[in-house]
Every structure is written in structure tokens, then in C-alpha cells.
A and B are shown apart, each in its own frame.
Chain A
Amino acid sequence: QVHLQQSGPGLVKPSQTLSLTCAISGDSVSSNRAAWNWVRQSPSRGLEWLGRTYYRSKWVNDYADSVKSRITINPDTSKNQFSLQLKSVTPDDTAIYYCVRDPFHSYDIWGQGTTVTVSS
């Protein structure tokens, strides 16, 4: 049974970097049958895909245009997890952040969600 466990701070100051981690159990971040995503949810934006990482002979990252200049998603094979870094945050980045597995053209497993507030 696949499980995603998120960790990271719930409060980030404006202009700083938001950092979250998603630990995977029951699957592998290096699987060639899945992609590993970050999605956020806010009242103003709804559910919004941010980016993903996946391995197909090499590591590939895709990012949403809305955050492309500020986002990095990294796999960590030694810990079987992946991370999200979002730089230069503003209050508009306040949201619930989810890590999500995409086994092929869908999202089937979601992390528990992390509420992140951007405030001084």
C-alpha cells in the first residue's frame, strides 16, 4: 500500500523559501511507472498543479508556468522522497500543499496536506 507522508514548516516569512518534503512508502521515487507531483489548494486559485519529477532513464522535471522561475523539485533516492522549494514567497502563496503520485495520467495517492501560511 502506497503512502505519502509530508513534512515541513507551516509558517514562512515573505520573501523567504518554502520547503516541504514528501516521504514515499510502498513505491519508489525512481519508479519508471510513476511521476511525483506537488499540487496546492487555495480559495483564490482552487487546486493548482505546481510541478513534478520522474525518472525515465534520467530525471525529468516539469513546472507550471505560474511558478517556473521560483520552483525546484528534487528527488532524493537515498531517502525515497522528493522535495519542493518555492523561493521568494508572498502571501499569495498561502495554501494547502499536497504531494501526489501520478501512476499514469491520473492522481491516485495524495499526501495528508500541509497548510502553509506566508506571513511576517
Chain B
Amino acid sequence: DVVVTQSPLSLPVTLGQPASISCRSSQGLVHSDGNTYLNWFQQRPGQSPRRLIYKVSNRDSGVPDRFSGSGSGSDFTLKISRVEAEDIAIYYCMQSTHWPQYTFGQGTKLEIK
């Protein structure tokens, strides 16, 4: 199985400041079709995960543009340009290149400093 590792696991932030989460995979995530299937999810307390980003850098409808994804190969990053109170949540990356077993990172808890 592909192992996905996030860092940090806890990220204290000041509102209005940027935040960055790293995601690394044990195997490259370039699919034979040329796409890289790396996703980011946000999970607020008591809620189901919500997809924010797919194929490394594509934002889902309704996702604020302060969220951005980047990276290639096996090294990826989620950035929040200016953290707002509603962004406090756990963030997960997930590889969906190697199927059927898509795998998730451990999660990064974004909290107020």
C-alpha cells in the first residue's frame, strides 16, 4: 500500500496569518494517464470530510481562494494564505492514484495559537 505522511500533525496558527501543510507519499503519484491524483479534505468537528482540492491544485466549487494546493511526484503542499476562524479543522491529504486502496494521511489539526 502507498503510505501517505503529513506534517506537522498539529499546527497552531494566528488568525490572519498563513499556514502550510506538507504531504509526502511513499510512491510517486503520477498515474499512467498523466494525471496526479492528490486530494485535500477538511473535516470540521462532528462533520464528514469535505473535499477542498483534487488533482493537486484544483479547488472544488465554493472553496475560498485562500486555499491552494501545489506539488508534484510524491511531495505536496496545502497552503492557506490567511487563516480565518472557520478554517479551524483537521486537514487530510489522500492519494487516489493507486487504486482501489486510496490512502489518507494521518491528518493535521489546525488550531488557534
State the Cβ distance, B4 to closest chain A Cβ, in Å: 10
- Which residues on A sit within 8 Å (CB–CB) of B104? 46-48
User: Are the CB atoms of A110 and B49 closer together than 8 Å?
Assistant: yes
- Which residues on B sit within 8 Å (CB–CB) of A75? none
Question: CA–CA, A106 to B106, complex, Å?
Answer: 18
Smallest Cβ-Cβ distance to B50: which chain A residue: A110
Question: CA–CA, A113 to B43, complex, Å?
Answer: 12
Q: Interface extent on A, as a size class?
A: 10 to 19
Smallest Cβ-Cβ distance to B105: which chain A residue: A46
User: Are the CB atoms of B51 and A106 closer together than 8 Å?
Assistant: yes
User: Are the CB atoms of B100 and A62 closer together than 8 Å?
Assistant: yes
User: Are the CB atoms of A106 and B96 closer together than 8 Å?
Assistant: yes
Contact of B107 among A46, A48, A52 (CB under 8 A): A46
Smallest Cβ-Cβ distance to B54: which chain A residue: A106
User: Are the CB atoms of B103 and A49 closer together than 8 Å?
Assistant: yes
* Residue from A48, A98, A107, A111 with most neighbouring chain B CB atoms (10 Å): A107
- Which residues on B sit within 8 Å (CB–CB) of A47? 49, 92, 94, 104, 107
Contact of A113 among B48, B54, B102, B106 (CB under 8 A): B48
- Which residues on A sit within 8 Å (CB–CB) of B97? 105
Question: CA–CA, A113 to B49, complex, Å?
Answer: 10
User: Are the CB atoms of B49 and A105 closer together than 8 Å?
Assistant: no
Write the B38-70 contact mask toward A (1 if CB under 8 angstroms, else 0).
010100000011110011000010000000000
Question: CA–CA, A64 to B31, complex, Å?
Answer: 21
Q: Given known contacts A49-B102, A64-B101, is B96 in contact with A105 (CB within 8 Å)?
A: yes
State the Cβ distance, B58 to closest chain A Cβ, in Å: 10
Write the A75-119 contact mask toward B (1 if CB under 8 angstroms, else 0).
000000000000000000000001000100111101111000000
Q: Given known contacts A46-B106, A47-B49, A112-B48, is B100 in contact with A106 (CB within 8 Å)?
A: no
State the Cβ distance, B106 to closest chain A Cβ, in Å: 6
Q: Can you name 12 A-B residue pairings with CB atoms under 8 Å? A: A47-B104, A48-B104, A52-B100, A106-B37, A106-B39, A106-B51, A106-B54, A106-B55, A107-B49, A110-B49, A112-B48, A113-B48
